[in-house]
């Protein structure tokens, strides 16, 4: 059966089933770019019950193309199953019988929080007019969520990749409000190579004829920057997985029933095509651009006297962990970050590269339990 044509955007939009989402209205936000964003809201999900004093609240922050749906099946309103099913839930590392787990969709994202696919004050989709964001802006929006929930201090802030950058920013910018933090597969500042990989992906999106400067949200199904976003995903996915894993899984094998010599695909090409098609149906290209730019601008030391001075602001217990086969955020970055925080980095053993923090559930769970353990 042929799949129906993809909509111009895979974003959640008003009128779609809400699923488990709830929303908090944000105050006017003065962004790092100098723009002011008004009328925005943040989508989030929660699991467990808050203690009367809010002391059991844990903030979980997603990566670039993640969302607030940390736990739960795919279904109406949720295009994908929870991305940390084995970590969050009753009896698991983030035991929802004990902890009140809160997961927001990042500001600028596309699964319920205000982003480029949403209406601007003039009623048209923001599109390319949506203001540039920094990691600090995402955290300022999350501060409003904490206020809405009555959380004065998080028992832990946990995240990987973009989520790890946000968790670090929380610990530096709001040191009295973070009792502990788990920083997975991230560094203190974006590197030249990370910026270069991201730039290549953004060029792919912007080169799509249906990008239209980011103003494509009005296009009919079958139109939109699908090819550009799909190419960006293919590039990104190569940085998320390790060379050895790709070799072991695929080698130079042909895709079943196809002959590369006759124009068919290799198995690894089919794998990348699959991930590209999945993302196009559940994500928004302009959100991808804005959040990728936020990652490239990540520098916890900017305006704080440098990275070393910024890290000295942290007051909570911090566990830093990386994946030994991660080529996007290699373990040397976690070692440097941990040294600046006066601790040592934990190394997760995995053939899965950067995505190891999503795949190696047992090792990640051990790190979560460690950061939540009573000191």
Determine which one of 78, 217, 237, 354 is catalytic.
354
Say what the pLDDT of residue 375 is: 65
Per-residue confidence of the chain (375 residues) as pLDDT tens digits? 567 889 999 999 999 999 999 999 999 999 999 999 999 999 999 999 999 999 999 999 999 999 999 999 999 999 999 999 999 999 999 999 999 999 999 999 999 999 999 999 999 999 999 999 999 999 999 999 999 999 999 999 999 999 999 999 999 999 999 999 999 999 999 999 999 999 999 999 999 999 999 999 999 999 999 999 999 999 999 999 999 999 999 999 999 999 999 999 999 999 999 999 999 999 999 999 999 999 999 999 999 999 999 999 999 999 999 999 999 999 999 999 999 999 999 999 999 999 999 999 999 999 999 999 976
Measured CA to CA, the distance from residue 137 to residue 143 in angstroms comes to 10
Q: Which residues contact 353 (CB under 8 A, 6 or more apart)?
A: 239, 240, 241, 242, 245, 323, 325, 326, 327, 328
Q: Which residues contact 276 (CB under 8 A, 6 or more apart)?
A: 229, 230, 231, 233, 234
Give the Å distances, CA to CA, from 3 to 184, 210, 278.
Answer: 36, 20, 12
Q: What pTM did the predictor assign?
A: 0.97
Domains and CATH numbers, the chain: 22-191+299-372 (3.40.50.1820), 195-293 (1.10.1740.110)
Measured CA to CA, the distance from residue 73 to residue 286 in angstroms comes to 26
Active site residue 298: no
Active site residue 362: no
Active site residue 161: yes
Determine which one of 113, 161, 198, 325 is catalytic.
161
List the one residue out of 211, 200, 173 whose CA is nearest residue 296: 200
Say what the pLDDT of residue 4 is: 85
**SS3 category, 180:** strand
Determine which one of 326, 350, 352, 355 is catalytic.
326
Task: Give the start-end residues of each E strand in 245-350.
Answer: 317-323, 345-348
User: In the structure encoding, which two tokens stand for residue 25, read together?
Assistant: 């209205």
Q: Which residues contact 213 (CB under 8 A, 6 or more apart)?
A: 127, 128
Measured CA to CA, the distance from residue 202 to residue 224 in angstroms comes to 15
Say what the pLDDT of residue 3 is: 76
């Amino acid at each position: 059966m042929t799949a129906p044509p993809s909509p111009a955007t895979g974003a959640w939009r008003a009128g779609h089933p809400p699923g488990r989402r709830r929303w908090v209205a944000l105050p006017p936000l003065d962004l790092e770019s100098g723009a002011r964003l008004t009328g925005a809201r943040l989508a989030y999900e929660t699991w467990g019950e808050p203690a009367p004093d809010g002391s059991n609240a844990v903030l979980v922050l997603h990566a670039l193309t993640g969302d607030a749906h940390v736990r739960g099946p795919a279904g109406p309103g949720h295009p994908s199953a929870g991305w940390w099913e084995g970590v969050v839930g009753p009896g698991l590392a983030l035991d929802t019988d004990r902890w009140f787990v809160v997961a927001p969709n990042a500001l600028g994202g596309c699964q319920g929080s205000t982003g480029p696919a949403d209406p601007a004050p003039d009623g048209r989709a923001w599109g390319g007019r949506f203001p540039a964001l920094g990691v600090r802006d995402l955290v300022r929006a999350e501060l409003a969520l904490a206020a809405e929930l009555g959380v004065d201090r998080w028992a832990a802030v946990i995240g990987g990749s973009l989520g790890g950058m946000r968790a670090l920013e929380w610990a530096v910018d709001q040191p009295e409000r973070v009792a502990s933090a788990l920083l997975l597969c991230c560094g203190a500042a974006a590197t030249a190579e990370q910026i270069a990989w991201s730039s290549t992906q953004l060029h792919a999106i912007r080169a799509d004829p249906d990008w239209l400067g980011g103003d494509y949200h009005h296009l009919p199904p079958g139109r939109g920057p699908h090819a550009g976003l799909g190419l960006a995903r293919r590039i990104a996915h190569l940085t998320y997985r390790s060379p050895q894993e790709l070799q072991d899984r695929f080698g130079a094998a042909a895709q079943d029933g196809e002959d590369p010599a006759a124009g068919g695909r290799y198995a690894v090409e089919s794998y990348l095509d699959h991930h590209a098609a999945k993302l196009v149906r559940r994500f928004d290209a302009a959100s991808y651009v804005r959040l990728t730019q936020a990652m490239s601008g990540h520098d916890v030391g900017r305006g704080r006297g440098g990275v070393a001075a910024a890290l000295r602001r942290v007051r909570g217990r911090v566990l830093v962990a990386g994946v030994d086969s991660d080529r996007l955020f290699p373990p040397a970055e976690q070692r440097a970050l941990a040294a600046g925080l006066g601790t040592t980095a934990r190394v997760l053993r995995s053939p899965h590269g950067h995505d190891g923090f999503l795949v190696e559930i047992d090792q990640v769970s051990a790190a979560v339990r460690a950061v939540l353990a009573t000191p």
